Chains A and B, each alone.
Chain A
């Protein structure tokens, strides 16, 4: 992991940055699934990442689903076609959207002190700093369970990806409508930046 991330201390390649974003999304989505009780707690195991313990799902279906989605997201990230990722939690009976977690991506590779070495875009930021930022966001997500409203019905989740209009739709993907929540309360979490990508995290939930 160290070799792909930096050649010298403090440099991040585009691939490395997208790897970081993908890992963050993976742990973030898993911890949201655990915290909001979408799946039973017994199906989660603790794992150590970025210096904190995160709960990862052991369900094969969820793992394979997340893997395929995140692989595609990483591909789109490298092509700069990705704008936003939404984790939508909806009531499985009435199909009503109860919560929406937005992960907005901004590309800052060309402006913020990045250099072009060997023909590839490189960012200058220390890996430990990035990891600390990611850690704080993940902790915030875990702590959010205290004020978010209780989901006491059977819920199902879905991952929606917002891309630029002229992005080709792969085989297993479909175009769909975005998920709206009426009378939504929105909250922003901390943002972290890898000097090539900037991730903002928000949650919109229905006010009772």
Chain B
């Protein structure tokens, strides 16, 4: 704002001054020569400092103006001028006053602003000093931190190295200890085994001794027992002997009792028999009388039986004869009936023969059959002839039919031809008519032309006599031309119409063809539609049938079930059982193998070891993993080899040195242009910087070493200098 005021004011002032100057150009110019410097110095720039000088200059200018005023009055004596001058002077003074006021204001403002700026400047300076101090502090801190960092890094690297070394030592220790441990373990196991065996042996011995003592005691006791038992045995045997004797007597007595009982039974039986016999004897005379009577009866019965047999035979005979007579009677009746029938038939035949054998007198009717035969023969011959005639006639009929069909075909062809000819005839007649019409037209034209030509000729002959008929000629010519044009137009029209007619005819044909094609397409499409409708109906029926049967439409429904359902649990159980059984099977197989191998002790341990050693699932997986890793490693190694080879070759070719790594920080360089294989340089890596070591070849390069390494401290330059030198030697 200050600056804008500044710019505004100077411009106002400048404008006012210019106006003023303009007002009094002629007056002021000569008097301003010595004061010429003053206006020019009035250059209002934006600097604050120059404001004082401005003020000063302004007052000077005012003063100069005043002096100019005074001198002006003395020169010009016109009152108007003076009045004007005074007015102008007043104006200028007023302006001056206003300007001075403004200037004062501006000064005051400037002073205030100066104060403000000073304050700000001081504050900024202080801030700057503070910032500098802070910066210095921070830099100091940074330096310390960097030092600490470096120190800590060094420490860290040292620690790392120490830890690594200690780690190596410890690992070695561990290995040693492990080896010792395994040794000790083996020895311990061996000792244990022996110990166990000894202990087992000793135990066994003690056990056996104890057992022996026990058995001895038992033996003694048993011997006493045996003696007792033997005495008892003797007693028992005696008793047995006595018992046997008693039994023997007992059995004998029982046998005697049995025999006596049997005899008693027999005695009773005989007594009963005697009683019965006594009864029978009493009845004897009665029985004798009965016997006599029975014998008489017997004789009578036998006679009767004989008579009966004889009578029976006679009856059988008569019955058979009767059956035969009955059969004969039946046959007789049948024969009578057939005879009557046959006689009637014979009469019929005779009648027939008589009827047919015409012209034969009835007296010779008895020899009818022969006449009948002759008639039949004649009839048969006639029949044969007639059949032959029939065959001939049939053949003739067929030939006639074939001829007729041929003729009909020819007739059809002829009619078709006739039709075609008629059509062509019609066409041609039409054509002829058209042509005739054309001919008429043409002839009319010709006539008209002829008439015109005659007219023209007449006119020409007329006009050839008189030569003043140019205009007429011209008229006629023009008329002729017009007529010719109209004729041409008519011809064109006729041609166009004929072309249109042909097109229409063709179009008509085309349309008919198209219609035919469209109709065919429509038929095919209708058939397809019918087929598709049928298929759709069938499929709908099938779908309904399947829906009824419980099938489901994925569009309309979704099937859900709980994950932990009984079927799934059963399946899971089965799988568990299966894996369990598989494992047990494996274990048992191993056990069998171990046992077959002959080991009887610690079988389970051996089995577990073998199982762990054999390929179980985890081991298989791990083996596969290991294989994959090994293949990866192989591939990486190969890739690394190829890339490293390539890199080394490229380095060799681009830089001219083959770098071989001999040890961890020892490198051998051989140049591309070396004169022999033994010309190599050795570099050792120390603290990240390579150092040249002494070699027989490097002894010859003292010059280069001195220049490039000792003075210039640059190994690349040294190497490139050597390359250039060698290359130069080679090309020489």
Contact = CB atoms under 8 A, between A and B. Distances in A.
Interface residues of B, number: 23
A90 B567 contact: yes
B443 to A, nearest CB: 92
A160 interface: yes
Contacts of A165: 555-558
A68 B566 CA distance: 13
Contacts of B562: 65, 68-69, 72, 159, 172-174
B505 to A, nearest CB: 65
Nearest to A102: B550
8 A-B pairs with least C-beta separation: A156-B567, A156-B570, A158-B567, A162-B557, A158-B565, A161-B560, A92-B570, A173-B560
Contacts of A92: 567, 570-571, 574
A80 to B, nearest CB: 13
Nearest to A72: B562
B551 interface: yes
Contact of B560 (A156, A160, A186): A160
Contacts of A51: none
A158 B559 contact: no
B558 A100 contact: no
A7 interface: no
Interface residues of A, number: 41
B663 interface: no
Interface string B568-589: 1111001000000000000000
Main secondary structure of the interface of B (DSSP, over half): mixed
A8 B555 CA distance: 41
A83 B554 CA distance: 13
11 contacts: A102-B550, A156-B566, A157-B566, A157-B567, A164-B556, A164-B557, A167-B558, A174-B560, A176-B560, A178-B552, A202-B550
A193 interface: no
Interface string A147-188: 000000010111111111101010011111110110010100
A174 B568 CA distance: 12
Contacts of B564: 65, 172
Contact of B550 (A173, A174, A204): A204
A159 B565 contact: yes
A84 B557 contact: yes
A61 interface: yes
Contact of A161 (B561, B571, B574): B561
Nearest to A170: B560
Interface in B431-458: none
A2 interface: no
Interface string B457-480: 000000000000000000000000
Contact of B563 (A161, A164, A172, A177): A172
B600 to A, nearest CB: 40
A62 interface: yes
B408 to A, nearest CB: 65
B283 interface: no
A61 B566 contact: yes
B549 interface: yes
A7 to B, nearest CB: 34
Nearest to B570: A156
A61 B569 contact: yes
Given A62-B566, A90-B567, A92-B571, A161 B551 contact: no
Nearest to B555: A165
Nearest to B548: A186
B566 A100 contact: no
A125 to B, nearest CB: 27
Contacts of A62: 566
Interface string A36-75: 0000000000000000000000000110010011001000
Nearest to A203: B550
B127 to A, nearest CB: 67
B550 A162 contact: no
B558 A164 contact: yes
B550 A159 contact: no
Interface string B530-561: 00000000000000000011111001111111
Nearest to A169: B560
A100 B552 CA distance: 14
Nearest to B551: A180
Contacts of A174: 560-563
B559 to A, nearest CB: 5
B566 A177 contact: no
A184 B568 CA distance: 24
A186 to B, nearest CB: 6
B565 to A, nearest CB: 5
A184 to B, nearest CB: 7
A84 B551 CA distance: 12
Contacts of B566: 61-62, 65, 156-158
B570 A162 contact: no
B410 to A, nearest CB: 69
Nearest to B568: A158
B550 A186 contact: yes
B559 A176 contact: yes
Contact of B549 (A69, A95, A172, A186): A186
A59 to B, nearest CB: 9
Nearest to A166: B558
B565 A65 contact: yes
Pick from A61, A62, A93, A159 the residue with the most CB of B within 10 Å. A159
Given A65-B566, A92-B570, A165-B555, A158 B561 contact: yes
A120 to B, nearest CB: 27
A159 B561 contact: yes
A204 B555 CA distance: 23
B725 to A, nearest CB: 84
Contacts of B548: 186
A91 B496 CA distance: 92
A165 B559 CA distance: 9
Given A65-B565, A157-B565, 13 more contacts: A65-B566, A83-B556, A88-B567, A90-B567, A95-B571, A156-B566, A158-B567, A162-B552, A163-B557, A163-B558, A165-B557, A174-B562, A176-B560
